[in-house]
Amino acid sequence: MLNITEIRIKKINKGDLLGAASICIDNCFIMNEIKLLNGKNGRFISFPSRKLKNKDIRKNFSYPINNETRLQLLEAISEEYDKVNVEE
């Protein structure tokens, strides 16, 4: 289980894109631009990616390697997003 020490949310609300999150793990590793999206089966997250040279495909350059970690991140980011929306 990850020790997420900080989450920052940038609200966007454009179409299915709800916002972008930056997370800090163990006060020593930061990952930026994790997108929070609203899909037909509920919320999901998309990790930073880049377009491959001379190709029309994108490749994630950081991502969780198991579903448990992905779900932990989704839950934490969703909770922070909801908290930010209530405060405004």
**Domain ranges (residues) in the chain:** 4-87
Closest CA to 62 of 73, 53, 54, 75: 73
Mean pLDDT within 32-55: 92
Contact 43, 73 (CB under 8 A): no
Alpha-carbon distance 20 to 34, whole Å?
A: 5
Is the pLDDT reported for residue 88 higher than 70?
Answer: no
Residue carrying the six token digits 């779900």: 71
Q: Is residue 87 pLDDT above 80, yes or no?
A: no
Q: What pTM does this model have?
A: 0.88
- Domain 4-87, what architecture? 2-Layer Sandwich (3.30)
